[in-house]
Structures are given as structure tokens and as C-alpha cells.
Structure 1
């Protein structure tokens, strides 16, 4: 009888260990549900656009810092000016970045960048103004 008690105790411990290892690490709580009352404030994006320097540092510098995949380099105003001249206006240059150009995906992998932030990033990289 004592062997059965030891075996079932060991099995319960194993089950508890397994349950602990596979338990969820978080919980989804949707606004309006009871659990949302205890949730902290959600970060707001209303603080304004990120600076061009911040956007470039986070999303653009890998290619535009080195010229990777024929990307115009940060600070190479001549190359940027040639691109602007080919497109006709600063606004068209911004549109080409928003839509993607060559090897660059739309918005250069900054899916949450606003059009204004893309424009600020181009200003920072190129030294050109709209």
C-alpha cells in the first residue's frame, strides 16, 4: 500500500512540474472586459512623430548607413539630389520610399511609420528639404 502512495505522490509532483512548465506566460485582456479594470494605461502614440534621426537609427541605417543594395548613403546629398531630380519633387521622393523602391520594401520595414516620419527620415539622410 505504501508503494502506491509513493507512486501517486510522485505522479502528482510530475504533473505539477509539467503544468508549471507549459503554463501561459500572459493573458489577453480586451478593453471593456472585467480584467481590463486592473490593466495599466496603454502607451499613446499621440506624442507626435518620431524625429528623422530616430527613424533612420531604428529602421534605415542598416542599408542607408553603408550603401547596401545600392541604397543612397546618409549624408550623400549629391546622390539624393539626383534621385529627387529624377522623380521631380521631394514629395515624389517620399512617395517612392512609402511605396518601396528597388530592394527596399514599403516604408523601409517601418510599417508603423507615418508618412511624415518617412519624410523626416529622408530629410535627415539626404540633407534636402521639402
Structure 2
């Protein structure tokens, strides 16, 4: 083969290789353009504040409507939070006003229904995802929904509704705090906590006297944080200790 032919063949090979490389680069660019079309992202859209707002559960932002925390009635809570699922019966939730779907639940009793609603059950998150709701507000919503399907429940009253002078019943407050905080450990005996109602486990503790028991629980003991993580007043926390002790003698 002559040197001229060799040079021609080499040049042709180089052109083929360059053409292939250009084709590959162009293909990659076109694919990237295809899959990222419409995905224009700016700094404002991806700011921490914007992301947090999009991720915030619907219930948390809506629950603040309709009155001060603790004062909202069952209908208000239902319309702001619960209706998102119960109005249409989404995710297996019993549809509002459907007597057939609610009958079995109503027969379980008001306290158990409220417990499930506060803690969450199956596809439903705790308090329907509205973490700023009080337990009483959740109970009012349960009563409102249950009664719409044939129940005969009574909504918990709003404290101070009659002139603002209503006193908080320590027994009621203690039960409420237990249901929202203490039961996480004392219902199951988690982390070595004595289960409520276990007389043998509570006997030596109760033997120290209520004041000593309250003082230890207020400061925190072993795996238990101060006041079990409760952020309310010492007087309210004492009511919770009294509730547990009263049910464990």
C-alpha cells in the first residue's frame, strides 16, 4: 500500500472517530435536556423556609384557625383537620356520618376512640397530624364525628368558658397529662418504668411518700427526664403523679 493511501485511510479513521464522539456528546446533551426540561430551580424556591413550608403537615398550619389552642370545639377541629380524610373516607378512615362504618368504633367507647385519635392508629398520624391540638380538642372532634354517626358522646368543656373562672380539676388534668406524656413509658414499662396499675412495682415507690415521689419525678430519675419531658407547671405535673399513684395502689 502506498504512503498516500495510508495517509488517506488514517485521515478517514480520525474523521469517523470524531464524528462518533460528537454524536455521543450531542446525544447525552439532548437526553439531559429532555429529562431536566421544566425543572428550573431558583434560590427562592429551594430556600430552607420554602422547603419547610411545603413539608409542614396540613393540620399543623390549619389547626391554629378558629380560636386559641385549647378552645376549639369539635366542629371547628373536624373542618380544619379531620375532614381532609373523614369527609371522603380516605385511607380507610370511617366516612363522616356513615353510621355503618362508625358503629363498631362507637361501641368501643369514647375513651378508647380518643386514645386512638391522640396516639394515631393505622394510617392516621397522632392527632391527625395537627400537633398543636390539645387532647381535649381531639376528644371534641371525636365526639362530633361519633355523634354525627349515631353516637351519644359529650364534648369536653372548654376551660373557663363560663365567665373565665372555671377551675381545673387536678384529677382531669392529671389524666390528660398521663395520656399525652407519661403513658409512652408507664403504659408499657419501657426503659424500666413501672407500669401504671402494677401494685408490686409501685409499692416501694409509693412507700416513700407522695412528696418524695413527686420530687424525684420532677428532677428526673434514671432514664426518665425531668417531669418525664412535660413542659407544664410543677403543679400540673404533680396532678399526673397523683393520677398514676391513685391507679397503682
TM-score, length basis structure 2: 0.33
Structure 1 segments unaligned to the other structure (5+ residues):
1-13, 26-40
Counterpart for residue 38 of structure 1: none
Cα distance in 2, alignment partners of residues 42 and 54 from structure 1: 18
Counterpart for residue 210 of structure 2: 90
Say which one has the larger Rg. Answer: 2
Distance 1:43 1:62, change over 3 A: closer
Does structure 1 residue 113 correspond to structure 2 residue 138?
no
RMSD across aligned positions (CA)? 3.0
Name the structure, 1 or 2, with higher relative contact order (CA <8 Å, separation 6+): 1
Among 208, 224, 235, which residue is 1:104 paired with?
A: 224
Cα distance in 2, alignment partners of residues 121 and 78 from structure 1: 20
Does structure 1 residue 18 correspond to structure 2 residue 43?
yes
Cα distance in 1, alignment partners of residues 188 and 68 from structure 2: 36
CA contact (8 A) 1:60 1:108 kept: yes
1:92-127 per-position Cα deviation (integer Å, ceiling 9, x unaligned):
1000000111111111111x1211222111122221
Structure 2 segments unaligned to the other structure (5+ residues):
1-39, 54-66, 71-158, 161-167
Counterpart for residue 126 of structure 2: none
CA contact (8 A) 1:73 1:125 kept: no
Among 67, 71, 75, which residue is 2:193 paired with?
A: 71
Per-residue deviation, 1:81:
2.8
Among 53, 56, 60, which residue is 2:175 paired with?
A: 53
Per-residue deviation, 1:90:
0.5
1:4-35 per-position Cα deviation (integer Å, ceiling 9, x unaligned):
xxxxxxxxxx68x432442665xxxxxxxxxx
Per-residue deviation, 1:71:
0.8
Cα distance in 1, alignment partners of residues 194 and 245 from structure 2: 8
SS at 1:18 equivalent: coil
SS at 1:56 equivalent: helix
